[in-house]
Amino acid sequence: MAKLEDQGNWSDEDTKLLLETLLGSDSQLYEKLMVNAKNVYKKVASTVFDDHCSPESVRGHYEQLQKVFSYILNFELMTGNGGGDPDVDKLDDKIENAWTAGKDVGTLSGGMLKKWYVEGWYRLFNEQLGEHPGLM
């Protein structure tokens, strides 16, 4: 793993590791995240990523992911949570319709939404926060 801050971006693998660490069903940090997030970010940076990133980088990336998850929830409130595997163009059209209807979908795109489903990031967030999005 290259130093994350030198890369400028988080890899999909590192993102999944971060989310599994904080939100996974075996996570012992999720409850602590609600109480002392600063300490949790420090612990994750040092123990999970071997100080290849700073606690601030961990916090910033996690908070950005939370924001994207909130956009996905807003999108789903408008469109329902339909199954299937629609193509990216159809998702883009639905996202544009949600934006036109006044839903805060931020920078969400069909490609981003599909990636969240495929990578399992949506599942990790939804298992912990789906019923209680206000906890984000």
pLDDT in tens, 8-35: 589 999 999 999 999 998 898 998 998 9
Distance CA 27, CA 107 (A): 29
92, two tokens: 């883009």
Rg of the chain in Å (alpha carbons): 16
| Averaged pLDDT for residues 38-46 | 97
Single pTM value for the model = 0.85
> Tell me, what's the pLDDT at 7?
42
Distance CA 84, CA 99 (A): 22
SS3 20: helix
| 134 band by pLDDT with thresholds 50, 70 and 90 | low
Distance CA 1, CA 49 (A): 8
pLDDT in tens, 80-114: 765 556 688 989 999 999 999 999 999 999 999 99
